[in-house]
Each structure stands twice: as C-alpha cells, then as structure tokens.
Chain A
Amino acid sequence: MLTINDLKVSVEQKDILKGLSLQVNAGEVHAIMGPNGSGKSTLSHVLAGKDGYQVTSGTVTYKGTNLLDLETEERAHQGVFLAMQYPVELPGVNNMVFLRESYNALRKARGEAELDSAAFIKLVREKADQVKLPSKLLKRSVNSGFSGGEKKRNEILQMALLEPSLAILDETDSGLDIDALRIVADGVNQLRSDDRAMIVVTHYQRLLDYIKPDVVHVLADGQIIKSGDFSLARELEDKGYGWLLDGEAA
C-alpha cells in the first residue's frame, strides 16, 4: 500500500525528516509515536501534500505510483485521507455542503455518478449518528464554533464518509476525553479491512488501547528508531522515550 524509502524533508532549510523508511501493507494499522518535535506532523503533512515542505530525497510509493507527484486533491481522489490535528474553521461554508462537495468530488474522480441530495443527506445522518456528532452541527459552518471534541468528531465523520484506502490520523486523540477517544477508536476500527491501511500518529498509548495497532513505530529526530508490536506501546508508556534516545546516543 505505502512504501516510504529514506525520506528526507526540510522546512525553511531546517531538516526535519532525516531518512525515514516505512512499509505499510493493506489491512494493517500502524501507530507512530514519538516525542515532540520528532517529525510526526511533518510526516502526516508531507503524505497529504501540504505546501511548505521540501522533500530533498527519498521516495514515497502509494499503490504503485509516486505519491509525491500528485496534487493534494489527487491524493484524496486516490484514497488518501488526513484527519487533522487542528481542523480549521471554514466560516460561511456550510458543513453539509462541504461534505457533499467532498464526497461527490471523490465519486467523480472514480468515474461514479454524484449522489443526489436526498440520498446524501440520509447517508450523512447515519454516519453522524455513528460518530455521535449532533445533527445541528451539519447545518452550521464547517468547524466554526465547534468544541475541540466536535471538531475531531467531524474529522472522523469525514473519514467514515469518504472511506479512504489510507487514513492518516495526526494526533486526533490530543485533547479528547475518554468518550471522544472511544468514538475516534470506533471510527478507525469500523473502517478496518483487508484493503485499507491506517497510520495513527499519537503521543499517548491510551488511544492505542482501543485500536490495537499491528505495528508500533518510534519516530525520533526524523527517523524511525524502533519498531515492534503493540507491546512496544506499553513499554513506552511505562518507560517514556528516554531509554530509546539514550540507546541511540550510545
């Protein structure tokens, strides 16, 4: 599904990713953990195609094509989805309209007919129920005046609706209470299937307790310094990152 090979990325002349390699197969859920400033968000943004990042070397292959050649919207058309750490507010852009434009843009890219308004509204209501997003928020401007938890739920709603092949969750769990965390985890677990892959970027083990990733990676100073199974997450929770970083230094 996704192969990242020796990826080096800098932001304003500063090296952030320093030779990152990662292989994510269909059907797998990978967790990426790591201390602040290790490059977790940079990795998420580069995969989604955000401006402002210079890829200085390395390759990213997604479903056999060079992902870095694609525009942001083309990546979305190909099934890449980024749940943002800080979902922006879009004043004046109606949430329902936004969801429909997005949903139909993806259908159109796949050569499918657009879903009519009534069928779409029904679909969105179902999905909104699943993620416990109050339906009145569908009528408001996108994320405008939403609480932190509501914004994250709106992200998970979009993920549920767009059914991506590769979903990247960039610290979606930050600032959430236990209930909201469960909703995020349920969203991920419901999408889990043999033909999908997910990358869950997080600081904490808590979300992973609900998601149970197949692989856990530790990202530090722009490289993946350790990978393992779910028990690695437990270990990190107990011991912190210090022992790994020290080992690296030694």
Chain B
Amino acid sequence: MNTPANQITQVSQIQWLDSFKQSIGLATSKGPDALDLVRQRAGKALASEPVPFRKMERWRYTPVDGLFKLPLNIVKSAPANDRDFSDFFTLGLDSYRFIIADGKATFLGDVNNLPAGVTLTSMHTARQQQPELLSRYAGKIMNHEGADNGFQTSGSKKDSRLFQHLNQSALTDGIFIHIPEGVKLEKPVEVLFVKTGDEADLIQTHNVIVLENKAEMTLIENHASEKASDSFSNNQFEIDLQNQSRMKHYFLQNQHTSNWFRQGIHRTQSSESHYQGWFGCCGSHWSRLELNAFFTGENAVSDIKGIQLGMDGQVNDIHMDIRHDLPHCQSEQHFRGLVSNKSKIVFDGNITVSKDAQKTVAHLSDNNLMLTRNTEVDAKPQLEIYADDVQCSHGTSIGELDEQQVFYLRSRGIDENHARSLLSLGFVAELIENIELEEFRQHMLDLLDQQLRASQRVETVNGSN
C-alpha cells in the first residue's frame, strides 16, 4: 500500500510544498548575511528531503498524509498592526510581552527600558540591528552535532527533517532573546502565538533564546487561534543555556481543534545549567512537539514534565530525544496523557546515555488514561545506556478509569460525567501541582476541567445516538 514508490509520486502532489519550494527559489536575498547562508542551505536540503510517511520509524504512529492534502496558502499577509490581542493574555502577569500574529512578531515592551545588555526583540529586527549576535546562534544550535540527535540516533535514513528544513529555509520572523552574563530577568517573558482569521495558511516562526553564563529567565509560550481554520503552524525554537544559567519554560498549545501544529525545540545545555520545562499539549487537530536536548557541559539538569490531551478526534504527538554524552548530568522526563473520543496520543521518548556519561541520572515516565473506547495510545519509551555507572529508569502505562472509583463518586451524588472528569483531572493532578508559576497552574487546571467536561458532553451525545 504505502510503498516508497507511492510516496515519491505523492511528493510531487503536495501542492503547498511545491509552491513553497518555488517561492524560496524566487525570494530576493537581502544580502549575503550569515542567516541567508542558513536559509539557502536549508532550502537546498529541502529540495531533496524525503517526505515523512508511515514506514519511517519516527512517523509510524503519526498519520501525516492529511497535512499534505491541506489547501495551504504559503504567503500570508500580516494582520493590521492595530489589532488588540490583550484578551489572550489571561494570566494577569506583569511580564514582557510578545505577540506573534500569523507569524509576525512584535515586542510590546519598551526596548529602552530593559536591563542593561538584554535583548528582547523580533528576529526581523534582530537581523537588521544585531546581525552578528544573531548569526552566532540562529541555525547553529539546532544544527549542533549533538543536539541534532533526533536524526542521528535513528540509526538509519528512516526519518525526515522536512519540517526543520521547511522552517529554516524560510527563516521567517519569531523572537530573539539574549540575556547577557549574570543578568537575572525578573519579569517573565510571555509570548502569544496567535492565528487570526479562518484562512488555511502555512505559518512559520523561528525563535532563538540564549542565556549566557549565570543568566536567568522565565518564558511562557501560549499558542492560540481566533477562529477555526485548516492552518498549519510550523515553529522552531533554538535554546542555548550557557554555564550556570537557569531557565523556566512554560508551554501551552491550545489552538483550535481544526489547526495543525508542529514545533521543534532544540536545546543545548552547558555546565551546571538548569532547565525546567512544563508542556501543556491540549489543542489542535494534529500536533507534534519535538523536544531535543543535548548536554555540552557536566552537572547540567534538565527537568521536563507535560501532559497530552486528545479529546475530540485529535492526534497529539510528543517526540523527545535527550542525549547524555558527558558525565554527571541529570534529566527528568515525566508525562501523562488523557485520550477520548476517537483521539490518539503518540509518545516517543528517547534517552541516550553514551559510554562516557558516567554518573548520569535519567528518569522517564509516561502514563496514559483512555477515557472512552475508540481511542489509541502509542507509547514508546526508549532508554539506550552505554555507560555502566548510572541511575536510569523508564516506564509507561496505559489504563482506564477504575469503575469502583466512578461508583464511589456517584454514590455521593456526583453525576457520572462529572465523576469521570474529576478522576481524569486527578490522574494528571500530580503533574499540574509541579507547576511552580501559580497563575499558569490555575490556568491549566481551569482549562483541563473545561475540556474534560466538554469532552464528556460529546461522549454523552455520541453514546445516546
């Protein structure tokens, strides 16, 4: 059925991809700066890159054909500048704010009022004003020999970097954050990625974040949409955490359940750096989050937690690659998933501990709850250990709600739908409690409660049909 030969035919049938390739060929180059070289290199790679399909190990459980059939517009004019998106900033935090509306980034704060040496700006502006600084990092972190391990550990050509190349060959707008040595950014940075309108657009952003030695910051990403649309967001983050820097990263993807979403986050961490990430993957018809981390120094810590929600015919995919090449680093990876109503969760978590990475501490867990029939969970934890003095563990589970628990709640007067919502919320509560930022934690709780109840209503309607 799905032979490579068929695939090759299919490649030429992806209209939006063909249009995109033509458009980058025609794009006028603003000058041969370093980023143009990155862009051109990616453009060349894109031309010959195979399209992901089921026979590739990393795409085995994630159906992607529908994405290639979308009638995507590859050029999108940015929305008017006077649009007000303040309603989307629901956390009520005193923060530095960015808006990225349909891929166009705007920093809302006063650049003259930032701590000395701090850069918070759009990629577009950074390219004009700080090209040397930007070109030191953009395209470098994600193409780092080690950070790019998602590709390498597959051990074969059975993968596709189509979306990475697609992103880099456009090298569109996004945010650029550079925190100089020793600076602790007191206020968090909040970035709203919003898709406006109902057009089926290809929207790409490329974002670069650099924390120099001993720098600290908190980043909050919120991915939302105004309306239903068959749009596809393809985002890329590059994060470089230098010696003893600390970053807290909160991610919420709650786009409309008609949208398609992919985001890669490539991260390198130097000695004694500390990264704490929390990922709420709730929205979109189809979403794929790729988390890659690579330690370039010893005694670094990476702690990521997240939840995956598939409530309404969704596909929710997390692919994670953590690579320990050096000794004494620690990585914690803990995820939970809730899936119902013809939805699917894919979790592919890889940790590689090379032979020199002695004293590595690495733990991975992924637990899922299937709330209804007609759901699917594909959980694939993989721990490859080549060192002999490490503390590592991994485990996954896929289960259902315990009917004894449902009965207990019902016998106390709580109706069945609400009982199931409470228990489902209880299943992810432990991870939610780990969210340090109180406003974000409360927001996640409210959001989950709301989505679980809505999902129960869907199931009740379907069940009575």
Contact = CB atoms under 8 A, between A and B. Distances in A.
Interface of A: 48-51, 71-73, 75-77, 81-82, 84, 87-88, 90-94, 97-98, 101-102, 105-106, 109, 141, 158, 162
A141 B408 CA distance: 14
Interface string B375-416: 000000000000000000000000000111101111111111
Contacts of A102: 409, 412-414
Contacts of A72: 407, 410-411
Given A51-B403, A90-B423, A92-B425, A77 B408 contact: no
B414 A101 contact: yes
A105 B408 contact: no
Nearest to B402: A88
B400 to A, nearest CB: 15
8 contacts: A71-B410, A73-B413, A84-B408, A93-B426, A101-B418, A102-B412, A105-B413, A105-B415
Interface in B396-449: 402-405, 407-416, 418, 422-423, 425-430
A97 B30 CA distance: 60
A239 to B, nearest CB: 35
Nearest to B404: A88
Interface in B198-214: none
A49 B411 contact: yes
Contact of A98 (B415, B422, B430): B422
Contacts of A76: 410-413
B405 A88 contact: yes
A158 B414 CA distance: 13
Given A90-B423, A91-B426, A101-B422, A73 B408 contact: no
B412 A162 contact: yes
Bin the interface of chain B by size: 20 to 34
B426 A90 contact: yes
Q: Which secondary structure dominates chain B's binding surface?
A: helix
Contact of A162 (B413, B416, B426, B428): B413
Given A88-B402, A90-B423, A105-B412, 19 more contacts: A50-B411, A71-B410, A72-B411, A73-B411, A73-B416, A84-B408, A88-B404, A91-B426, A91-B430, A92-B425, A92-B429, A93-B426, A93-B429, A98-B422, A102-B412, A105-B414, A106-B413, A141-B426, A158-B412
A129 B133 CA distance: 64
B419 to A, nearest CB: 8
Contacts of B416: 71, 73
Contacts of B402: 88
A92 B404 contact: no
Nearest to A87: B408
Contacts of B423: 90, 92-93
Contacts of B403: 51
A55 B405 CA distance: 23
A87 B409 CA distance: 11
A73 B426 contact: no
A155 to B, nearest CB: 10
Contacts of B427: 91-92
A93 B422 contact: yes
Contacts of B415: 73, 105
A77 B409 contact: no
Contacts of A158: 412
Contact of B411 (A82, A94, A101, A141): A82
B413 A98 contact: no
Nearest to B431: A92
User: Which of B402, B407, B412, B423: most chain A CB closer than 10 A?
Assistant: B412
A245 B411 CA distance: 34
